[in-house]
Amino acid sequence: MEARLNLFASPLAGKVLKHFNAAGKAVADSSLPAATQQLVLLRASQINGCGFCTDMHSKDAVAAGETWLRLNLVAAWREATVFTDAERAALELAEQGTRIADAAGGVSDEVWANAAKHYDEEQLGALVALIALINAYNRVNVMVRQPAGHYEPGMFDH
């Protein structure tokens, strides 16, 4: 399988993705726990059917010390006992933030309030930005049919 468009060879795509990456770096450097970030990235990617990002973020999470048990249970986090209450709140916010088109009300007040119990203003801002960014990345990769399975942690580090 080949991508419909080579994002890595496109000067315009390169400029746009450079800005996405800079925004992602700001979130990565925030006080939002790294494990929470990886779980959110993976869950949104699963929902959006983005194989490339699912591959990337599961491998990056393992490289950062996350367990395969927790990663394998992200899609079923409601029934899993391996996540903290804070992680569960972030996963629910990620789901509602990703599925905005599925719910006329968007993110419910209840879900927002639950996240706000566990995260401060900076961390909430980081969560919102992270969810928005991963949804943008997912959409780009799904549209161009970016193939999955060959990602190696660190391969995009410069």
The pTM score is: 0.94
pLDDT tens digit string along 30-55?
999 999 999 999 999 999 999 999 99
Q: How many domains does the chain have?
A: 1
Is residue 19, in this structure, part of any structural domain at all? no
Distances from the Cα of 102 to the Cα of 10, 11, 21, 107, 143, angstroms:
33, 34, 28, 11, 19
Is residue 85, in this structure, part of any structural domain at all? yes
3-state class (DSSP) for residue 151: coil
pLDDT tens digit string along 102-154?
876 789 999 999 999 999 999 999 999 999 999 999 999 999 999 999 999 98
Is residue 57, in this structure, part of any structural domain at all? yes
Is residue 8, in this structure, part of any structural domain at all? no
Q: Please state the rounded mean pLDDT for residues 11-30.
A: 94
How far, in Å, CA of 54 to CA of 145, rounded? Answer: 13
Domain hosting residue 82, numbered range? 33-144
CATH at 54: 1.20.1290.10
How far, in Å, CA of 56 to CA of 51, rounded? Answer: 8
Contact 135, 101 (CB under 8 A): no
- DSSP label of 146: -
Is residue 107, in this structure, part of any structural domain at all? yes
